[in-house]
Structure 1
Amino acid sequence: MQHLQPQELAAWLADADRPRPVLLDVREGWEVAHCALPGIVHIPMNEIPSRQQELDPDTPTVVICHHGVRSYQVATFLERNGFERMINLTGGVAGWADQVDPGFPRY
């Protein structure tokens, strides 16, 4: 598993020459309703085992949560199930607000 800092993800998303990763947000629905990065795929952490077939194991996937703990657990689970290109967003959306977008809603 790779780990990505919020600034690195922002640079990746801004690079038109680089294929966009899947942004897998594993937070609860109320959290996503409060704030979310544009273009996410939302699958709450507890639904990952039953919905992992909705994801492509060969596509780079950045897993996102509030602080990076749940996303790390989900990325680890998916790696154990054959997903080879998992990336954990270190610091989660809180890190995004701290390092990339100070106007991003916090909770």
Structure 2
Amino acid sequence: MDSFEIISPREFTGLLNKGELEDALVIDVREQMEWEYYHLEESILIPMNTIPANLDQLPRDRKLYIICAHGVRSANVCYFLQEQGYEDVINVDGGMAAVAMLRGFQYD
């Protein structure tokens, strides 16, 4: 099986900041509690364990950027999606921890 693409947090953040991901879908696979703590406005929440039941929400004709806390769960989701026939899945390396530092998230 081909391995999925991996994007660095810096490159991903750059694309987001330039508005270059508007044709793509950013999927956050963390849990609701993690999402509520902080998330990207550009992303949608589909927790990892609910991905199989929500495949109908995932278009096959768009790039899917998968993000989690640190990049481990998102890698597993990328493998799963490839097994389901999705060809354009991209794992965000370092996850929200890395992206949040680059975007300067403020924590309460």
TM-score by length of 1: 0.88
Pair 1:89–1:104, CA change in 2 (3 A): farther
Deviation of 1:103 (Å) = 3.1
Instruction: Within 5 Å, give how 1:26-105 maps onto structure 2.
Output: 26-98=29-101, 100-105=102-107
In structure 2, runs of 5+ residues without a counterpart are none
C-alpha displacement at 1:79, in angstroms? Answer: 0.8
Work out whether residues 13 and 103 of structure 2, in 8 Å CA contact, stay in contact via their aligned partners in 1. Answer: no
The runs of at least 4 consecutive aligned structure 1 residues that moved more than 4 Å come to: none
Structure 1 CA distance for aligned equivalents of residues 78 and 106 of structure 2: 24
Amino-acid identity (%): 34
Separation of aligned partners in 1, 2:93 and 2:47: 18
Deviation at 1:7, TM superposition (A): 1.1
Equivalenced residues, count: 104
TM-score using structure 2 length:
0.87
Partner residue in 2 for 1:4? 7
Cross-structure match for 1:13: 16
Cα distance, 1:104 vs structure 2: 4.6
CA–CA separation in structure 2 for the residues paired with 1:62 and 1:104: 23
Structure 1 counterpart of 2:28, one-letter code: D
- Output the amino acid matched with 2:85: G
